[in-house]
């Protein structure tokens, strides 16, 4: 067997034989839910536009109107 292959497959090079978890080259990316990057920012912006930023409650009956781009 080639010396480079032997050293690569030795017990010292394999982290699975010593009980330790294998080391990752890059950290594992954490998945975030749709609410964290889409829904929550939209709700926050809508509350601010209505004039009721968190934690104030928006009173019943308060409604916003939709405007199209280009409307004056």
- Cβ-count burial 49-64 (b if 16+ within 10 Å, e if not): eeeeeeeeeeeeeeee
**pTM for this one?**
0.46
Reported as a single tens digit per residue, the pLDDT across 2-56 is 565 555 555 555 545 566 666 777 777 888 888 888 998 998 988 888 899 888 8
- Are 26 and 8 spatial neighbours (Cβ–Cβ below 8 Å)? no
């Amino acid at each position: 067997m080639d010396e480079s292959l032997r050293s690569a497959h030795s017990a010292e090079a394999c982290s699975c034989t010593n009980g330790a978890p294998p080391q990752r080259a890059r950290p594992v990316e954490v998945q975030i839910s749709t609410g964290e990057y889409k829904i929550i920012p939209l709700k926050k912006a809508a509350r601010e536009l209505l004039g009721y930023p968190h934690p104030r409650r928006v009173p019943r009956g308060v409604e916003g109107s939709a405007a199209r781009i280009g409307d004056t």
